Amino acid sequence: MVNPNKKSFAWLIENFSSLQSDKLYSAPVLISGFYWDLFTYPKGYKGGDSLVVSLAVTDGQSLPSEWARYVKFRLTIVNHLSHELSIHRETNIWFDQKAPGWGLSGMLPFAKLHDKDGGFLVNDELKIVAEIEALEVIGTLDESKDLLDKTCIDVNGFQVLPSQVEAVRGMFERHPDIAVEFRAKNQHLRTACMNFLLSLSEMLIKSLEEFSNEDLMEADIALTYLKDVGFKVDWLEKRLDQVKRT
């Protein structure tokens, strides 16, 4: 039986180098009762030097205010020379009327993307593959929380997906005081903050040459946010300093 909450699709962008549009959208795809699309900025987002790819609910702001989807999505920029050279990014996050779209920045520097021998542009075509799994949540925040509780596993007071349990437990084992000053009580906010922390932690494990200046700037902003909400992330600050010095 086909799972209506899970789907993969490919977006092929032709004539990428000669596109005049500042913003480009994929065709919408039906997942979990809503239409979703990808969008990107062929010339860069606000002058950025790397490709940003975003996922959004089509016309999400016009839907009833009660809607929400907790989504795991993975984006791949396909390298036609070797699958191992393809760029993958993955995250888990809530989509709702206030935040109907989320982007993954710094996926691929434009210099690397446009390298004629790089394998990302073949016949001036760029291929992006999206793998989306949506947990449908319709109704009030209390109803959403009930469904979230049934789906996720509690690790040190944070509701995380089964696939995240090992990473979160390992983080608490290595840094047991990481959340002693974390103040948020709302489970949705706690989950969102933990996902944010996991994403940044995974990002800073990447090989150093994969970071752009835009990546480093956004990592600084992310660290500031995590400290503001109460996480102790001195270990991530040290890692970021190492990256900046290279």
Position 142 confidence tier, pLDDT thresholds 50, 70, 90: very low
Indicate the residue among 138, 160, 189 that finishes a domain: 138
Residue 239's pLDDT is what? Answer: 83
- For residue 129, the number of C-alpha atoms closer than 13 Å in the C-beta half-sphere is 12
Position 135 confidence tier, pLDDT thresholds 50, 70, 90: low
Average pLDDT over residues 25-54: 83
Polymer length in residues for the chain = 246
Query: Are both 79 and 131 inside the same structural domain?
Result: yes
Q: Is residue 96 part of a domain?
A: yes
Query: Are both 130 and 166 inside the same structural domain?
Result: no
Query: Are both 69 and 93 inside the same structural domain?
Result: yes
Residue 151's closest CA among 92, 216, 198, 111? Answer: 92
Q: Is residue 27 part of a domain?
A: yes
Phi, psi (5° rounding) for residue 59? 55, 35
Q: Is residue 146 part of a domain?
A: no
How many domains does the chain contain in total? Answer: 2
Indicate the residue among 78, 106, 138 that finishes a domain: 138
Query: Are both 104 and 183 inside the same structural domain?
Result: no
Query: Are both 108 and 158 inside the same structural domain?
Result: no
Query: Are both 156 and 224 inside the same structural domain?
Result: yes
Query: Are both 74 and 113 inside the same structural domain?
Result: yes
Q: Is residue 1 part of a domain?
A: no
Q: Is residue 144 part of a domain?
A: no
Indicate which CATH number applies to the domain containing 33.
2.60.210.10
Query: Are both 164 and 45 inside the same structural domain?
Result: no
Q: How far apart are CA 175 and CA 49, in angstroms?
A: 34
| Contact in structure between 177 and 99 (CB atoms under 8 Å) | no
For tokens 């009580």, what's the residue?
185
Query: Are both 118 and 156 inside the same structural domain?
Result: no
Q: What is the mean pLDDT of the chain?
A: 79
Q: Is residue 147 part of a domain?
A: no
Residue 43's closest CA among 32, 52, 34? Answer: 52
Average pLDDT over residues 223-234: 85
Query: Are both 240 and 184 inside the same structural domain?
Result: yes
**What's 125's DSSP letter?**
B
Residue 173's pLDDT is what? Answer: 92
* Residues 6+ away with beta carbon under 8 Å from 89: 74, 75, 104, 107
Q: CA 177: distance to chain centroid? A: 26
Residue 232's pLDDT is what? Answer: 92
Average pLDDT over residues 112-131: 89
Instruction: Give the range of the structural domain holding residue 181, as residue numbers without chain letter.
Output: 152-245
Average pLDDT over residues 136-147: 46
Q: How far apart are CA 224 and CA 239, in angstroms?
A: 14
Q: How far apart are CA 10 and CA 128, in angstroms?
A: 6
Query: Are both 125 and 216 inside the same structural domain?
Result: no
Q: What is the pLDDT of residues 143-188, one digit of tens each?
A: 444 445 555 788 888 887 777 888 899 999 999 999 998 887 776 6
- For residue 242, give the 3-state DSSP assignment: helix
Q: What is the DSSP string of 223-241?
A: HHHHHHTT---HHHHHHHH
Position 111 confidence tier, pLDDT thresholds 50, 70, 90: confident
| Contact in structure between 52 and 214 (CB atoms under 8 Å) | no
- The interaxial angle of helices 213-228 and 234-245, nearest 10 deg, is 160
- For residue 69, give the 3-state DSSP assignment: strand
Q: What is the pLDDT of residues 60-108, one digit of tens each?
A: 655 666 677 888 888 999 998 888 889 888 888 888 777 888 887 778 8
Q: Is residue 145 part of a domain?
A: no
- For residue 49, give the 3-state DSSP assignment: coil
Query: Are both 54 and 172 inside the same structural domain?
Result: no
Residue 58's pLDDT is what? Answer: 78
Indicate the residue among 98, 114, 138 that finishes a domain: 138
